[in-house]
Amino acid sequence: MHGLTVDGKIFPFCENNMDFRAEGMGSISRKGVTYSSNQRGAEFAGATFQDEWLFVNIQANPDITFAITGPWSNGAL
């Protein structure tokens, strides 16, 4: 995911490192389902702000929503 500065420059903000393979961060199990694949190619979607929080989804298997805290008023994003 990229951000945009107030003077119009694009910068990297975060990246998807969800790798559930053994050589990555290892598998996880949720509600009886085990995830064990590399999801680093999955895309970010649905970014929205609510007060001091940025919510963003990754469309993967599993789909995941992240809540990222600010303060956003201190800089570009």
Q: What is the pLDDT of residue 55?
A: 95
Which 3 state secondary structure label does DSSP give 74?
Answer: helix
One-letter amino acid at 25 equals M
Domain boundaries, the chain: 2-74
Rg (CA), the chain: 15
Q: What is the pLDDT of residue 76?
A: 67
Q: What is the pLDDT of residue 48?
A: 93
Q: How far apart are alpha carbons 30 and 12 in whole angstroms?
A: 30
Q: What is the pLDDT of residue 30?
A: 83
Tell me which residue of 5, 30, 11, 12 sits closest to 20, measured CA to CA: 30
User: Over the chain (77 residues), what is each successive 10-residue block's mean pLDDT?
Assistant: 90 89 86 86 90 90 87 73
Q: What is the pLDDT of residue 75?
A: 72
Q: What is the pLDDT of residue 66?
A: 92
Helix then strand then coil, % of the chain, to nearest 5: 5, 45, 50
User: How much is the pTM?
Assistant: 0.73
